[in-house]
Amino acid sequence: MRMPHHTLWRPALAAGSVVAAVLTIPLLSRLEYMRAVVWLVHEDGPLETLGALSCLAGAVLFFAAFFQPKPSTDSDGLGHSNDRVARPGGNRSIWCLLLAAMLVIMFGEEINWGERLLGFHVPEQWLDANIQHEFNLHNNRFVHAQLDENRLKFVWLLLSAAYLGALPLLAIAVPTVDRYLARLRLPLASGHLAVAVLVATSLYFALTNRKVVAGDYPGAHDVGETNECLIEIAYLVLAVQVWRALRVPMTHRFALVLGLCVAVPGVPLLLGLARSAIDPEPMLRAVTALRAGDARQRAGDPDSAIARYQESLAIVPNQIAVFLRMAGLYLRQNRIDDAQREYEVVLALDNNNAEAHARLGAIFLQAGLLPEAANHLTAAIEQAPRFAAAHYYLGLVRLEQKDPVAAAACFREALRLQPNFPRAQESLDRLEAQAS
């Protein structure tokens, strides 16, 4: 029989309240350009800070739980029923130690390991290998080659949803699973928390897909940041549940240590938040203008959108995302020279940008400059091997260069990466018909 959950209703209720409150932010799809919303979800903003501090507090609690003695009750303190008695040597669940280590890493990743907070020097090549020019792993180009494809974050999200959400519910439904996990001494979330995590994650996928299809990439970013924060809070709630289940009184000394561990990095982070709320830093104002441009673009007013983008660049120059948006608008207006200029600016700022290489390759192909087109498309594929459109355009270049075998290989690769790619399919069918 599992540990009763009624004693844990307060953490579960807190988690549910956070889910309900924070999920309203990305739902304000028509207000995503408002400064208040931008401030909530911006880099080092309230959501990211809350998530980072949740990771740090959770790590301290899991680490402390590892050294606490097992209780002499019918619970093992990890969410499973147990008839074993307390052991003076401590709880010693290796999972608590592993979870503490994981949360420390998550905390470090969220604050870029103190790069901006402490102002330490990072080698430029390390920053160039990061899609956001930061010092962390989760935005490294190896796992985050494109803005809408972060493989590491996707895997982390699925594993967290499985561990915090699906596994506890499975243990509740199947006693055999619960007994097996009890032998492993794996900490499990309460049923309340598991449901909250699964609901939040399901909303994340549904809302993200909807916003991406609508071209609302900032809105999709907001949903991602919100869900990331919720998962981090869920790990903290799990740590609280494990600690409470141990039924060990929290001494003043331990409370002081916990408070200091969170306050030392937390106070400067919160002071930075307060300063950015009172006097928004230029990047916040630039992002506000950027999102206003996105809203005008979706409303079908490209000229007004370009004006807002230029306003954003006037506040903070050299924003690659803004140049890419302007270039895309110029392409849709058939202003090819303007689009080429913007893409060249992007490559001057970041020569590893796959999208700029691919778009320039398509522009040079249209102009009949085949060697230049091939060079840019090859560079795009080197940076983002799963970029189906780049393979397709490279296939068109090979066709123009009278190399049908290489062209067919490019079209097949494009279709492998994106099966629903009509133009690639038509080009391949035409080549195969000519060959037969």
* Residues 291 and 273 grouped into a single domain: no
Average pLDDT over all residues of the chain: 78
My answer on whether 200 and 268 are in the same domain is yes
The closest alpha carbon to 412, from 434, 429, 433, 436, belongs to 429
At 260 the pLDDT is 75
pLDDT value, residue 373: 94
Give the up-direction half-sphere exposure of residue 171: CA atoms within 13 A in the CB hemisphere.
29
* Greater model confidence, 62 or 47: 62
pLDDT category, 274, cuts 50, 70, 90?
Answer: low
Task: Check: CB of residue 191 under 8 Å from CB of residue 9.
Answer: no
Q: 105 and 209 share a domain?
A: yes
Q: What's the first-to-final CA gap in the chain, in angstroms?
A: 69
CATH number, domain with residue 397: 1.25.40.10
* pLDDT for res 249: 67
Average pLDDT over residues 212-226: 71
Higher per-residue confidence, 42 vs 396: 396
pLDDT in tens, 57-107: 899 888 888 877 655 444 455 555 543 333 334 456 788 889 999 998 888
Alpha carbon distances (Å) from 406 to 287, 393, 399:
43, 12, 8
- Give yes or no: residues 149 and 10 share one domain: yes
Buried b (16+ CB within 10 A) or exposed e, 49-63: bbbbbbbbbbbbbbb
Helix (H) or strand (E) holding 152: helix 151-160
Q: Which helix (H) or strand (E) holds 47?
A: helix 46-67
> Residue 263: inside a domain, yes or no?
yes
- The residue with greater pLDDT, 258 or 311, is 311
Q: pLDDT band at residue 119, thresholds of 50, 70 and 90?
A: low
Domain boundary among 256, 278, 300: 278
Q: Is the pLDDT score of 167 beyond 90?
A: yes
Do the domain assignments include residue 363? yes
The two structure tokens encoding residue 127: 């920053």
Whether 1 is covered by a domain: the verdict is no
What is the model's pLDDT at position 236?
Answer: 92
Count the alpha carbons within 13 Å of 155 in the hemisphere toward its beta carbon.
6
- Give yes or no: residues 261 and 315 share one domain: no
Quote the pTM value. 0.63
Q: Is there a single domain that holds both residue 359 and residue 383?
A: yes
Name the one residue in this structure whose structure tokens are 């280590």.
Answer: 101
- Domain end position, chosen among 262, 278, 294: 278
* Pair (362, 407) in one structural domain: yes
258 and 386 assigned to the same domain: no
The last residue of one of the domains, among 278, 297, 313, is 278
- For the segment 402-411, the average pLDDT, to the nearest whole number, is 92
Does 408 map to a domain? yes
DSSP 3-state assignment of 1? coil
Q: Which of 15-29, 239-253, 337-351 has the lowest mean pLDDT?
A: 15-29
CA distances to 44, 116, 123, 297, 339 from 315, rounded to whole Å, are 19, 20, 27, 20, 21
Task: Answer yes or no: is 394 within a domain.
Answer: yes
The answer to whether residues 15 and 28 belong to one domain is yes
Q: Is the pLDDT of residue 207 over 50?
A: yes
Is there a single domain that holds both residue 252 and residue 333? no
The domain in which residue 418 lies consists of 282-435
Number of domains in the chain: 2
Residue 49 covered by a domain:
yes
Q: Is residue 391 part of a domain?
A: yes
DSSP-assigned letters across all residues of 170-232: HHHH-HHHHHHHHHHT-----HHHHHHHHHHHHHHHHHHHHHHHTT-HHHHHHHHHHHHHHHH
**Does 30 have pLDDT greater than 60?**
no
How far apart are alpha carbons 106 and 236 in whole angstroms? 12
- Band of residue 256 on the pLDDT scale cut at 50, 70, 90: confident
Q: Which tokens go with 349?
A: 């700022």
Reported confidence tier of residue 29, pLDDT bands at 50, 70, 90: very low
> Same domain for 158 and 300?
no
Q: Are residues 363 and 221 part of one domain?
A: no
